[in-house]
Chains A and B, each alone.
Chain A
Amino acid sequence: MIEGSIPALELQGVTKRFGATTAVDNLSLTVTRGEFIALLGASGCGKTSTLRMIAGLEQASAGTIRIRGEDVTTLPTHRRDIGMVFQSLALFPHMTVADNVGFGLRMRGRNTADIEREVKSALELVRLSGYENRLPASISGGQQQRVALARALAARPTILLLDEPFSALDRKLREELTLEFAELLRRVEATTVFVTHDQEEAFAMSQRVAVMQAGRVLQLDAPTAIFLRPADVDVARFVGMTNVLDATVDASGRNATSALGLVPLATLFEPGQQIAIGVRPEHVRPGDATGTTAVTFSATVRSTAFRGRHVSVILALERRGLGETRIDMLLPHGVMTPRNGEAIRCCIDAAVVHVMAAV
């Protein structure tokens, strides 16, 4: 086989059980060379266990892990060709920045001149030249972050693993480093598996995102696809498509009846089919619809919250005899701030209504 056709990383039916609980359930995943993939999910979804199995810090209960075609499932961590950035960073406190970055090269038995050169270029890459002789405790959090990345990259591993590396930083620094690291890793074409619970981070950095829940991958797709076309109701809720309603396809197959009324569908469905429709809160607009392919409805304002750039509004949709349905709306700042209890008219463009399988 030619080099280019072998995936950098391949997981096949990988499972991890801790006693009676299954942390990772029959997970398969292929990462091509130079690709940046994120494992996204809430805590306990199995993303960290998956990463630790790739690193060999946990043993898989079942399944196969291949790095560049080689079966490494039972290979100890130090013999896998990986680099990893830990959530706690785990810099070696008794070593200088240069010794931290050069550690992997030293362990791999490279000669002194080689090590010096690679350390220098790794530190240049993360813009930390001149910090060689500092101890980790004497540099800032953002700089420590960069040292951790330089250390993971210095030996040019086949796979780079990032375990929530930004979670300890404050918001501003996190956003800065997210973009900087994403750009840097694209430049060096590092094959990267990135674990995070933050969807903005995952979307901003990755080419593909695997949304995980209960040890399984719910959807593996490009960030925009996951954002706009979540595969199911769970993914929809996770990526902030909070308005999910039950609906039934009408006799024509072109509309669905729901709490919002009659919603036009983009494609033809089987009459009578039960479906779920999803709408992002920012796609709910105040006022009456103007086009023909839109849905208009009346609702009562239950609460509003000012969030800086946005005002989030919770609406209640009255349904005769069926109680209330909650609709979330996100208004750009300055549009309007409705009062609690006020009855308002709202509309949704049919093009942004996303159809999913009923739950």
Chain B
Amino acid sequence: MLRWATFAWLGLTLVFIAAPTLIAIVVAFSSAELVKFPPDGYTFKWFASAWGKELFWRAALVSLLVALSAMAITVPAGVAAALAIRRSSVATRRMLELVFMSPLLVPAIVLSLAILVGSVLIGATDAPLRLWAAHSIIVLPYVVRTTLASLAGMPPGVEEAAATQGASPWQVFRYITLPLITPGVLAGAAFAFIISFDNVSVSLFLVNQKTPTLPLAIMNYVEYNFDPSVAAISTTMVALSLAVAWLVERMVGLRRILQ
């Protein structure tokens, strides 16, 4: 009896989590001219229509570029930060951890407003550059965190053992530390990509109207149109996120990182 109740509860929770996504995916294949659930018939035409719109694929390109460049800078920076944090004394360590986690705690609106004001002050009003800087800040905590977790999970003494074997600090990092923390670093990179690609709140303040990111292009579009091409775009984004998650799972096991 209790068993069945547990399963029922689990099922309900799963439906609650997955239903919105599933509905969007179903609607993406709907043959109706307006968003309607359940659909009357099925078609692929909205994918063609959506990706035929320059607006969307240009926006997708902006998002991809911002996400990849944010990833490219935060992965080395985050790994370096994690290594430094680990070597610090307990008090310094607490402080540094707080500093590097703070982008998760400060409301995104405040952060983006600050970056907007700051960029105007120093005259760096180029939108992609601003976006890149802002996204780098918000994704950095994920890289630092997953790297710290994998550093903590390293077997004790292996770095010292390598040093006694004649490995210089750089060789210790190259042959021992890096291979052992690679799973955590890859997971951090994947998170960085997804978080950046998906972001609305920070981007909202910093894009210019000609080059929005994909989530903002979708928002703009929905204001005046309500056809299933939006759902088709969303479905593509879901597929991309799932693909990244699947890659990470294949390479390192997602469960280990999320713990």
Chain A residues within CB distance 8 Å of chain B: 55-57, 76-80, 82-84, 86-94, 103-104, 107-108, 151-152, 155, 161
Contacting residues, chain A, for B175 (C-beta < 8 A) = 103
Q: Which of A82, A88, A152, A161 is the one whose CB lies under 8 Å from B157? A: A88
**Complex alpha-carbon distance, A93 and B165, angstroms:** 16
Residue contact A90 to B156, C-beta cutoff 8 Å? yes
- The closest CB in chain A to the CB of B157 belongs to A90
| Listed A/B pairs (23) with beta-carbon separation below 8 Å | A55-B160, A55-B164, A76-B169, A77-B160, A78-B163, A78-B167, A78-B168, A83-B164, A83-B165, A84-B161, A89-B157, A90-B156, A91-B155, A91-B158, A92-B176, A93-B180, A94-B180, A103-B162, A103-B165, A107-B167, A107-B168, A151-B161, A155-B165
- Which chain A positions have C-beta within 8 A of B161? 84, 86, 90-92, 151
Using Cβ atoms and an 8 Å threshold, which residues of chain B touch A94? 179-180
Q: Are B167 and A103 in contact, CB atoms less than 8 angstroms apart?
A: yes
In the assembled complex, the Cα of A56 lies from the Cα of B164 at a distance in Å of 8
Beyond known contacts A57-B163, A83-B164, A83-B165: 8 more, CB 8 A cutoff:
A56-B163, A78-B165, A86-B160, A87-B157, A90-B160, A92-B158, A93-B180, A152-B164
Asked whether B166 is an interface residue with its Cβ less than 8 Å from the other chain, the reply is yes
Task: Scan residues 137-186 of chain B and give those whose CB is less than 8 A from a CB of chain A.
Answer: 155-158, 160-169, 171-172, 175-176, 179-180
| Cα(A57)–Cα(B162), bound, Å | 11
Q: Return the 3 tightest CB-CB contacts between A and B, nearest first.
A: A90-B157, A104-B165, A90-B161
- B180: chain A residues at CB < 8 Å are 93-94
Contact present for A77 and B157 (CB under 8 Å): no
Within 8 A of A (CB), among B160-218: 160-169, 171-172, 175-176, 179-180
Check if A77 sits within 8 Å of B155, measured CB to CB. no
Q: Closest CB-CB distance, B162 to chain A, in whole Å?
A: 7
List B contacts of A155 (CB < 8 A).
165-166
Indicate if the CB atoms of B166 and A57 lie closer than 8 Å: no
Looking at the assembled complex, report how far the CB atom of A137 sits from the nearest CB atom of chain B, in whole angstroms: 10
Residue of A nearest to B168 (CB): A78
**A276 vs B198: C-alpha distance when bound (angstroms):** 80
Q: Are B158 and A90 in contact (CB under 8 A)?
A: yes
Shortest B71–chain A CB gap in Å is 24
Q: Which of A79, A80, A88, A108 contacts B155 (CB 8 A)?
A: A88
A92–B155 Cα distance when bound, in Å, is 8
Nearest-neighbour CB distance to chain B for A49, whole angstroms, equals 14
Interface centre among B162, B165, B176 (most CB of A within 10 A): B165
Question: Which residue of chain B has the shortest Cβ distance to A136 in the bound complex?
Answer: B155
Known: A78-B167, A78-B168, A107-B167. A92 touches B162 (CB 8 A): yes
Residues of B35-89 at the interface with A, using a CB-CB cut-off of 8 Å, are none
Query: Quick one: which of B156, B163, B176, B179 contacts A77, CB cutoff 8 A?
Result: B163
Which residue of B is nearest A82, CB measured?
Answer: B164
Q: How far is the CB of A159 from chain B (nearest CB, A)?
A: 10
Q: Are B165 and A57 in contact (CB under 8 A)?
A: no
| Chain B neighbourhood of A161, CB < 8 A | 164
Across the interface, do A86 and B179 meet the contact criterion of CB distance under 8 Å? no
Complex CA–CA separation, A10 to B83 (angstroms):
35
Contacts of B179 in A (CB 8 A): 94
> How far, in whole Å, are A90 and B179 apart by their CA atoms in the complex?
15
CA distance A152 to B163 in the complex (A): 12
Report Cα–Cα, A78/B27, bound state, in Å: 63
Q: Are B163 and A90 in contact (CB under 8 A)?
A: no
Tell me the bound Cα distance from A322 to B156 in angstroms: 54
